Amino acid sequence: MLNRRRMLQGVATGAAMSLSLPSNRLFASPAQSGTTPKRIIFFMQNQGFDPATCIPEGMKRSGSLAKAKLPEPISALEPYKERLHIINGLHGVHTSPSHSAFFGALGGYRGSDGVPPSASTIDYELSKVLPQTLLPHLCIGMDSIENMTSKPTIATLSATGAGQPIFMHSNPNHLYQMLYGGISTGDIRLQHEARSNVMNQIEKLAATKGQSLPSTDQQRYGQFVQGFKDVNGLRDRLDTVADHLRQFAPEVDSRYANPEFETDWHDILLDLGISALTSGITNTLTIGSGRGEIFGAWKGLGVEQQGHNLGHMDQPGNPIWVKIRQYNSRMLVRIMEALEGVPEGSGTMMDNTLIVYTSNNADKQHTSGTNWPVMLLGNFDGSFKTGCFTQLDGKRPINALYTTLLRAAGVSVDHFNMNEKLARKFDTGSGPVKELLV
């Protein structure tokens, strides 16, 4: 259980690490930034992503998906094959994933349970170079009701730098209040105002008391103070665009306060994430199904097994994993349909979006990371090939994929989070994975 002090520290630190608020713009758009308002979504499923659950039967070589039939676990994506790119043969052996690579999954470095991040992660780096928004980066985490209630914020996947984690939001009531409390009514409005008043008082009190601390503690304490300032600043900024936000705020229903299953909250969290994208609040969304750890529950799908045991089950042909992967695929479809429904430029928001679906645990539980399957959906304004399967030789790391994402976002780097020594050992190439780009 979290005590009050740890809870407040989590709120402050999480805000400080994720709310690098732009001073001169609220929403990314061509008129404001002069560039295409690209956006990216990372969907990380725990317990591994077995390639047999996504590669069409009989496909051994790279080729088109046009005449292939997608496996049952991702069958919901069949109508969207022309937007899909399945990638097999990247590796992450240097991340030592085992139960999970934790921050190393998106960071491309060694990660482990309880070990702080050693560098920033790709989602944060992209949030810095994409057209800036009011909330540059939003992270949501899905788990069992018990875990989401007792630990409404947790940091295991994303980071702004060494020792600087970004917290995921797991309680949809808290997230709704943060994003839409200013336009709500009734009890939600009262809770929002009460919470806002508390945050303002804490900021003032913290700023005053921090001056009396020893100089060695003032810098760390200052991070907490800045965190509360950022939370309060975000609330004020959201209030200034209330009329705009009303068009996108999801309807609050009984599932918020009285979920029957954890999947009720999973669905709500996804709706909130989608609304943050379609409203323009953010252009970088990270979803952690299982929250980067070895737990997770899907009782709402009829899956009674939960937690670590799920990772010890073979995924291909397993009805439990078929249900979980199909559920994920339906979530991906919901994201695409929502973005497809919003005009942008000469097309829609989905035309300028890329969804990256993979696992924080490579191909399976207790893995060495020798194979790290990935699915891409969308083409990021024409940057990525779609409607195809690419089989790589296993000699390039997930870092090379992240280098490719940066290149598509306009940043040219040879390696991501790899010095020359590591690159010589774990990467046979340099720069982006050319097979993925148009």
Query: What string of pLDDT tens digits covers the 438 residues of the chain?
Result: 233 233 333 333 344 444 444 333 445 444 444 567 899 999 999 999 999 999 999 999 999 999 999 999 999 999 999 999 999 999 999 999 888 999 999 999 999 999 999 999 999 999 999 998 988 899 999 999 999 999 999 999 999 999 989 999 999 998 998 888 866 556 655 565 545 554 555 555 555 655 555 666 655 555 555 555 555 567 677 777 888 888 999 999 999 999 999 999 999 999 999 999 999 999 999 999 999 999 999 999 999 998 888 999 999 999 999 999 999 999 999 999 999 999 999 999 999 999 999 999 999 998 999 999 999 999 999 999 999 999 999 999 999 999 999 999 999 999 999 999 999 999 999 999 999 999
Q: Which of 435, 437, 362, 438 is nearest to 63 (CA)?
A: 435
365, amino acid identity: Q
Domains in the chain and their CATH numbers? 27-172+259-436 (3.40.720)
CB 433 within 8 A of CB 401: yes
Question: Angle of helix 262-278 relative to helix 319-340, nearest 10 degrees?
Answer: 30
139, amino acid identity: C
DSSP string, 339-380: HHTSEETTEEGGGGEEEEEEETTTTSTTB--S---EEEES-T
For 98, which DSSP code? B
Q: Which of 299, 290, 379, 367 is nearest to 339 (CA)?
A: 379
Q: Give the model's pLDDT for residue 142.
A: 98
Q: Which residues have a Cβ under 8 Å from the Cβ of 434 and sit 6 or more positions away?
A: none
Q: Which residues have a Cβ under 8 Å from the Cβ of 118 and sit 6 or more positions away?
A: 103, 107, 109, 110, 162
Side by side, which strands form the sheet with 138-142? 63-64, 388-397, 84-91, 374-377, 353-359, 39-45, 284-289, 138-142, 164-169, 153-161
Q: Give the model's pLDDT for residue 190.
A: 56
As a whole number of angstroms, the distance between CA 359 and CA 374 comes to 8
